[in-house]
Amino acid sequence: MAYGIRIKDASANILLLTPELTYIQSSGRVTMSNSLNVDNTYGTDIDLPGVSAYGESSLGAIVYSFRINIDLTLYNLNYGGIYAQSWFLNNASSFYTRNESNGVMTTFTPDKSATTAYDGLLAVYPRAFFDKKGSTTFTAVRLFAATCYEAYDQSATAYVKVYTIGSQGVEKSDYAVYLSRYTE
């Protein structure tokens, strides 16, 4: 029986990280920033050893968010004498959308101009991962950790994923960056 860290994805693929195959290059706890990076992406960079870039298949990261902040608004709505309660995005928070292909974050402002314009909330959860931003080689691993809100944007009549960051989103994350003992 082999010992190590067993990782399983949504497709039921399993990877067993053992000392013979991989080693932990860096691990620890990071406090996530309250602001975007200069290129409007978000996250904390963990430098990799050496000066050469590592290929995507030679490295990985495990990120676990544990201090999470959520800011919601509960409204009592009156529809012709029928009252209902529902959760909505709170426009007091700073929200961002994220371009999944390059990691660029853009400001998103929930609409509170009228009850019919409120952006309804579907789900809230922490989201943390190795942000590759569309690259396949790396000299650093970008750790992304934020609180994700899935909502219905009334003004665009579309479902959106928006994020809060830092002290409004995910404050702290534990991580481990691992490298393959075999190069590409």
Cα four-point dihedral sign 134, 136, 140, 142? positive
Q: Tell me the β-bridge partners of 14.
A: 8
pLDDT digits (tens, 9 = 90+) for 11-43: 888 877 777 677 788 999 999 999 999 999 999
Tens-digit pLDDT profile for residues 80-90: 777 777 778 88
Q: Is the pLDDT of residue 183 over 60?
A: no
pLDDT digits (tens, 9 = 90+) for 94-113: 999 999 999 999 999 887 77
Residue 184 in this model has a pLDDT that exceeds 60: no
Identify the CA nearest to 175 among candidates 23, 30, 14. Answer: 30
pTM of structure: 0.83
